[in-house]
A and B are shown apart, each in its own frame.
Chain A
Amino acid sequence: MSRIIVVTSGKGGVGKTTTSAAIAMGLAKKGHKTAVIDFDVGLRNLDLIMGCERRVVYDFINVINGEATLNQALIRDKNCNLLYILPASQTRDKDALSQEGVGKVLDELRKEFKYIVCDSPAGIERGAHLAMYFADDAFVVTNPEVSSVRDSDRMLGLLSSKSRRAEQNEEPIKEFLLLTRYSPERVKLGEMLSVDDVQDILSLHLLGVIPESKSVLNASNSGMPVILDEKSDAGQAYDDIVARYLGEDRPHRFIEDKKGFFRNLFGG
C-alpha cells in the first residue's frame, strides 16, 4: 500500500521544500520507491534543491493536461535510483491544477510508488488545498514562532475538515509535527518558542526537531538534499525523522543547547 505524504505549513518560507527533498531522499535511500511532487506552480524550486533543474522537459501540468505521460515527466534522481521528481511548471498559472487532474496523477503514481511526497506551496488557497486533499499523512512544518504556529494550527483544521479523507468520513489524515529552524540558544534567550511551548499549543505528535543550520543553505546551493550531508546536524535530524516515520524508536536530539549542556556538565 502506498502512502501520500503532504509537507505543509500555511506560512511561507518555513522549510517545506527543504523537508520534502530531504525526506523523499531519506525514504528512497531506505529502499522505498518514492516520488516527490512540486505543487508550487509558478514558483518551482524543488528541482533546484534536488539539483535536477537542468533536466526538466515536462512538468506536472503537462501530465494533467495529457501533453506528456507520467513516465516522460518524472525525473530520476542522480543520487538514488529509487527516487523520482515531478517538477512544477514555471510558466503556467496555478489554476492549471484541477482536483480531478491531481487525483488522476496521484492514482497513477500509487501503482508504482511506495511513498508520494507532495511539497505544498505556502498559504491555504487552492495550491495548498490540492497538495493536501488526497494525503494519507501530513508533515506539518513549523518554525518556533507564534505566527508560524498559528498558521500550522489553521492548516491542521483544514486537514481534518477539508481533505478527501474527512469528506468521505474515512480514517483521518495522520498528522506529524516537524519543528524546523530550531535554535536552542535563541529559545534560551526567549527569542523563540521552545519545543514544549509549540507542542502545548498544537498538541501534535512530534516527529522531530531540525536545528537552524548552515548546512541547509550549502545543500541547496549544491543541489543535494541536506539528508545526504551525513555529518551535518540538519542532515542527521532529517535522518532521524525518516527513521521515526518508518517506525524506528530514536531519541530526540538538537533540542538542548549543546554549549549550555557542556557548561552545566563541567560546572562552567
Chain B
Amino acid sequence: MSNTPLGLEFKSSTFSVPVLILSTENLDVIQQQLQDKVKQAPEFFKSSPLVLDLQELNKSGYSMDVSVLVRLIRRVGMFPVGIRGGNVQQNKQAVDLLIPVYSIDHREVSSSKKEVAPAESAKPKEPLKVKQVSTTLITQPIRSGQRIYAEGDLVILAQVSAGAEILAEGNIHVYNSLRGRALAGVQGDESARIFCFDLAAELISVAGNYKVSEDLNHVVRNKPVQIYLQDQALIIKDIELHH
C-alpha cells in the first residue's frame, strides 16, 4: 500500500453557466450591450464564466474572429470558458486560446427553431437575443447545497432550505418557506419579482439589488409577501389574501 495520502479526486458536477448567443458581427455593438448588461447586474455578470454561442451568427453568414471576441469579453470583465456552434476555424482559434469546444444541446436547438416561427420573425431582431423561455416548475424541496437556475420564471411548490440557492432570469414563486438565497431577474430584468409564502431567506435579490438576512429582521413570518424593485430599492410587501 502506498503511504502518500490521496491528493485529488475527480467528481462529476453540473454547473449553470450563462450562454451568450451572438447575432451580430459588429464588435462595437456587442461591447456596448455587454457593458450595459454588466452595469445592470454586476452581481451576476462581473467575473462570470460564459459560453459563447456562434450558431446564429454563422447561420446568418456573419464572420467572427474568436480571438478578438474573447479579448473584448475579458475586457468587459467576464471569462469565456467555452464555445459552441462555431465553424472549424473558430473552434481552432478557441482551442488555441485554451477554450474548450462544446457541442450544441439538441433540446435547445429545437426550442430556438420554435422561436423563428413566422409571427416572431416579423419582429426586428435584436443583436443580442433575449431568449423566450418557459416556466420551470419544481415540486421537490430544494435542499441545502443545491442550486437551481431558470431561464424564465421559476415556480417552486416545496420549501427552499437554508443553504440552497435559486436563480431565475424572470420571476420566482415559492409556495412554501423560502429559507435559502433567491435571486430574480439575474440577467437584469428589473421588473422581476419574488413571491413567497414565508420569507426567511438568507438573501433576496432582484436584478442585482439585494438584501441579506440581517436586513430582513423586521419581516413578518408565515405570511405571503412579494418583493420587487422600486427606484433601485427592494420593497417587501404583504400580499393580501381575499377570502
Q: A164–B164 Cα gap in the complex (Å)?
A: 22
A205 within 8 A of B: no
In the complex, whether B141 has a CB less than 8 A from a CB of chain A is yes
| Interface locus among B74-82, B142-150, B224-232 | B142-150
B interface footprint on A58-101 (CB within 8 Å = 1, 0 otherwise): 00000000000000000000000000000000001101000000
- B158 pairs with A203, CB closer than 8 A: yes
Q: Are A160 and B140 in contact (CB under 8 A)?
A: yes
- B161 beta carbon closer than 8 Å to chain A: yes
Q: Is the CB of A160 within 8 A of B161?
A: no
Residue A150 contacts which of B1, B142, B146, B163 (CB distance < 8 angstroms)?
Answer: B163
Check if A157 sits within 8 Å of B143, measured CB to CB.
yes
Is A201 on the interface with B (CB-CB < 8 A)?
yes
Q: How far is the CA of A157 from the CA of B158 in the complex (A)?
A: 13
The listed residue (A93, A95, A126, A154) touching B145 by CB distance below 8 A is A154
Contact A95 to B6, CB < 8 A, known contacts A154-B143, A160-B143: yes
Distance in angstroms between the alpha carbons of A154 and B1 in the assembled complex: 33
| Complex CA distance for A153 and B159, rounded to whole angstroms | 11
B107-164: which residues lie under 8 A (CB-CB) from chain A?
140-146, 158-159, 161-164
User: A157, B6: Cβ atoms under 8 Å?
Assistant: no
Cα–Cα, bound, A201→B141 (Å): 11
- Whether the Cβ atoms of B159 and A203 lie closer than 8 Å is yes
Tally of A-B Cβ pairs under 8 angstroms: 37
Q: Is B215 an interface residue (CB 8 A)?
A: no
Q: Is A161 an interface residue (CB 8 A)?
A: yes
A172, B161: Cα distance in complex, Å: 19
B105 at the A/B interface (Cβ < 8 Å)?
no
CB of A156 within 8 Å of the partner chain? yes
Minimum CB–CB distance from B147 to chain A (whole Å) comes to: 10
CA distance A154 to B162 in the complex (A): 10
Interface-centre pick from A93, A95, A157, A201 (highest chain B CB count, 10 A)? A157
**Which residues on A sit within 8 Å (CB–CB) of B144?**
150, 153-154, 157
Q: How many angstroms from the CA of A150 to the CA of B163 in the assembled complex? A: 8
Instruction: Chain B residues near A160: list those with CB within 8 A.
Output: 140, 143
**Nearest A-chain residue to B147, judged by Cβ:** A157
In the complex the two chains form, what is the Cα distance from A95 to B8 in whole Å? 12
Interface size class of B (residues with CB under 8 A): 10 to 19
CB distance from A198 to the nearest CB of B (A): 13
A157 B9 Cβ-Cβ under 8 A: no
The residue of chain B having its C-beta at the shortest distance from the C-beta of A126 within the complex is B9
- Distance from A67 Cβ to chain B, minimum over Cβ atoms (Å): 15
B124 to chain A, nearest CB (A): 41
Contact B9 A153 (CB under 8 A): no
CB distance from B3 to the nearest CB of A (A): 10
Separation of A156 and B146 alpha carbons in the complex (Å)? 10
A148 to chain B, nearest CB (A): 12
In the complex, the answer to whether B162 meets A150 with C-beta atoms within 8 Å is: yes
Question: Chain A nearest CB: distance from B9 CB in Å?
Answer: 7
Contact residues in A for B162 (Cβ distance below 8 Å): 150, 153, 201
Q: Which residues of B contact A158 (CB under 8 A)?
A: 145
| A40 to B158 alpha-carbon distance, docked (Å) | 33
Write the nearest CB–CB distance from A65 to chain B, whole angstroms.
13
Q: A153 contacts which of B6, B158, B163 (Cβ < 8 Å)?
A: B163
CB interface residues, A 112-171, toward B, < 8 Å? 126, 150, 153-154, 156-158, 160-161
Chain B residues with CB under 8 Å of A153's CB are: 143-144, 161-163
Residues of B with C-beta under 8 A to A203: 141, 158-159
The complex places the Cα of A87 from the Cα of B206 at a distance, in Å, of: 53
The residues of B with any CB-CB pair to A shorter than 8 Å are 1, 6, 9, 140-146, 158-159, 161-164, 179
A residues at B contact (CB < 8 Å): 92-93, 95, 126, 150, 153-154, 156-158, 160-161, 172, 201, 203
Q: Which 5 pairs from chain A and chain B are nearest by CB? A: A157-B143, A153-B144, A154-B144, A157-B146, A154-B145
> Could you list 22 A-B pairs, sorted by A, with CB under 8 Å?
A93-B1, A126-B9, A150-B144, A150-B163, A153-B143, A153-B144, A154-B143, A154-B144, A154-B145, A154-B163, A156-B141, A157-B143, A157-B144, A157-B145, A157-B164, A158-B145, A160-B140, A161-B146, A201-B161, A201-B179, A203-B158, A203-B159
